[in-house]
C-alpha cells in the first residue's frame, strides 16, 4: 500500500499574522557535532519569526550530550552572538533515566520555555528562513504533531542516490498513511509537536526500549487521524549530508528501522503486506519472463511501472528530486533487497546505540 495524495503537497498558505504568532522552542540534541553546528546552527538562529515589535519569537536550545570534541567551544562562541540561543550541558558521567538521545531530548524539553516545540538535528540545515513558521503553522491551527520532509544533499554515486530515493519513498509512505488516517511515523530531523504531546509519548511503555526512535514512538503514542499534519512546502525542508560509506549508512538504517516493531498491529500488517506484494510482483515477473507467459508478464509489468513510476516522477518534482528519475527502475527492484536485508531490525532486533 503506497497511496500518493496530491493534497499533501499544497503550496504554503498565507503567513501567520504577527499578533497570532505563538513562541516556539527549537530543540537540537548534539553529541560531538562541532562541525555540523558551525555549518547549520547559524541558519536556524536566523529564522524570520518575530512579534509586532520585531523581536525574535523563538528560542534555540542545544543539548550538549557529553561531547568530547569542540562542540562546547562552538556553542560558547555562538551564544555571544545570539541572545535566543541556550545550551544545556549533560556531563558524560551523568546517570541517565532514558537511553540514548531520549535522555538528551527530555532535558531539552524540560528547559523549553514554550508549548510549541520544533525538533531537528545538528546535521540539518533549513531550506529557507521561513522553515520555522511553515512547520509550526499547523500547531497554531490546533494540531499536536507536524511531520515535515528531511531530505539529503545531492552527491555523486549510487549510495547517495539510493539514500535520497529511500528518503523520498519513506516520506511518500508515511504522509500517505497520515492522510488516510493511519499515522505511524515522522522524522526527528524535521518535526514539530506540542510539549503536552511529547510528555504523553514519554509516558508510553515503548519509550524506554530504544536509545532513539523518539519521532516514531511519539507519533504512535499520540497521533490520530485528526491531530497530525504533513508539511511538504519546499521552504519547510531540512537538508542533511548523506552518509559517505555503505557501512555508515547501514548502521544508521539499523537504528532507524528498530522502531518498526513497536508500531501498532494494523500498521505493521499494512506495511508488511506492501513490502510482500512489492517483492512478489518482481519475483513473479523474473520467473515468468523465462516461461511461455513472458509476453503477458512484460505487458503487466509495463503497465505497473508506467503508473508507479509516473506517480514517483510527480512527487519527486514536487520535492526537488528530479535527478532521481533515471534511478527509478534500479531502486524499485533494489527496495525488495533492502527489505530482506534489514528484516531482522524491522522484526525483532534493536540497535542499542544512539551515536
**Residues 25-79: tens digit of each pLDDT:** 999 999 999 999 999 999 999 999 998 888 899 999 999 999 999 999 999 999 9
pLDDT, residue 95, reads 87
Q: Do residues 24 and 154 both lie within one domain?
A: yes
Torsion of CA 221, 226, 228, 231, to 10 degrees: 160
pLDDT, residue 354, reads 47
Residue 353 lies in a domain: no
pLDDT, residue 355, reads 58
Own/partner long-range contacts of 73-78 (Cβ < 8 Å, ≥24 apart) = 73/34, 74/34, 74/37, 74/38, 74/41, 75/37, 78/37, 78/41, 78/42, 78/45
pLDDT, residue 113, reads 96
Residue 300 lies in a domain: yes
| Residue 191 CB partners (closer than 8 Å, separation 6+) | 118, 119, 135, 145, 146, 147, 148, 215, 218
pLDDT, residue 102, reads 87
Domain containing residue 105: CATH number:
3.90.550.10
List the chain residues with pLDDT less than 50: 1-11, 348-349, 354
Total domains in the fold of the chain? 2
Q: What DSSP string runs through 232-270?
A: --GGG-EEEPPPSSHHHHHHHHHHHHGGGGGS-HHHHHH
The DSSP H or E segment spanning 146 is strand 145-147
Between CA 170 and CA 215 the distance in angstroms is: 14
Cell digits of residue 320? 526537488
| Residue 110 CB partners (closer than 8 Å, separation 6+) | none
pLDDT, residue 246, reads 87
Chain segment 210-247, per-residue pLDDT in tens: 766 789 999 999 999 999 999 999 999 999 999 999 88
Q: Do residues 152 and 280 both lie within one domain?
A: no
Between CA 44 and CA 126 the distance in angstroms is: 7
Q: Do residues 124 and 224 both lie within one domain?
A: yes
Pick from 213, 246, 279: which residue ends a domain?
246
> Counting runs of H as helices and runs of E as strands, what totals does the chain give?
12, 10
Q: Do residues 229 and 326 both lie within one domain?
A: no
Sheet containing 150-152: order of strands: 124-126, 238-240, 150-152
Domain holding 287, by residue range, is: 266-347
pTM for the whole thing?
0.88
Amino acid at each position: 500500500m503506497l497511496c500518493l495524495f496530491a493534497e499533501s503537497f499544497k503550496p504554503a498558505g498565507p503567513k501567520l499574522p504577527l499578533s497570532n504568532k505563538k513562541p516556539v522552542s527549537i530543540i537540537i540534541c548534539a553529541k560531538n557535532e562541532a562541525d555540523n553546528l558551525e555549518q547549520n546552527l547559524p541558519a536556524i538562529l536566523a529564522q524570520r519569526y518575530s512579534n509586532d515589535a520585531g523581536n525574535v519569537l523563538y528560542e534555540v536550545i542545544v543539548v550538549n550530550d557529553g561531547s568530547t570534541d569542540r562542540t562546547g567551544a562552538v556553542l560558547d562562541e555562538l551564544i555571544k552572538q545570539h541572545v535566543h540561543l541556550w545550551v544545556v550541558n549533560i556531563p558524560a558521567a551523568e546517570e541517565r533515566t532514558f537511553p540514548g538521545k531520549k535522555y538528551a531530548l527530555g532535558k531539552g524539553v524540560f528547559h523549553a520555555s514554550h508549548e510549541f516545540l520544533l525538533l531537528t538535528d545538528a546535521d540539518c540545515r533549513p531550506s529557507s528562513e521561513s522553515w520555522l513558521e511553515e512547520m509550526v503553522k499547523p500547531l497554531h491551527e490546533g494540531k499536536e504533531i507536524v511531520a515535515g520532509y528531511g531530505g539529503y544533499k545531492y552527491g555523486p554515486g549510487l549510495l547517495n542516490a539510493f539514500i535520497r530515493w529511500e528518503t523520498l519513498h519513506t516520506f511518500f509512505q508515511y504522509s500517505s498513511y497520515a492522510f488516510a488516517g493511519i499515522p505511524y511515523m515522522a522524522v526527528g530531523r524535521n518535526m514539530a509537536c506540542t510539549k503536552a504531546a511529547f510528555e504523553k509519548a514519554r509516558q508510553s511503555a515503548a519509550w524506554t526500549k530504544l536509545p532513539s526512535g523518539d519521532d516514531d514512538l511519539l507519533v504512535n503514542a499520540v497521533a490520530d487521524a485528526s491531530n497530525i499534519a504533513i508539511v511538504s512546502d519546499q521552504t519547510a525542508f531540512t537538508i542533511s549530508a548523506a552518509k559517505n560509506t555503505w557501512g555508515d549508512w547501514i548502521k544508521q538504517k539499523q537504528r532507524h528501522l528498530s522502531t518498526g516493531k513497536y508500531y501498532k498491529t494494523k500498521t505493521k500488517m499494512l506495511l508488511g503486506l506492501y513490502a510482500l506484494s512489492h517483492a512478489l510482483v518482481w519475483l513473479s515477473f523474473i520467473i515468468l519472463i523465462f516461461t511461455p507467459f513472458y509476453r503477458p508478464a512484460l505487458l503487466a509489468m509495463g503497465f505497473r511501472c508506467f503508473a508507479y513510476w509516473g506517480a514517483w516522477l510527480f512527487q519527486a518534482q514536487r520535492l526537488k528530486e528530479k535527478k532521481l528519475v533515471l534511478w527509478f527502475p534500479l531502486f524499485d527492484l533494489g527496495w525488495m533487497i533492502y527489505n530482506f536485508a534489514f528484516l531482522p531490525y524491522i522484526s525483532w532486533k534493536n540497535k542499542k546505540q544512539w551515536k
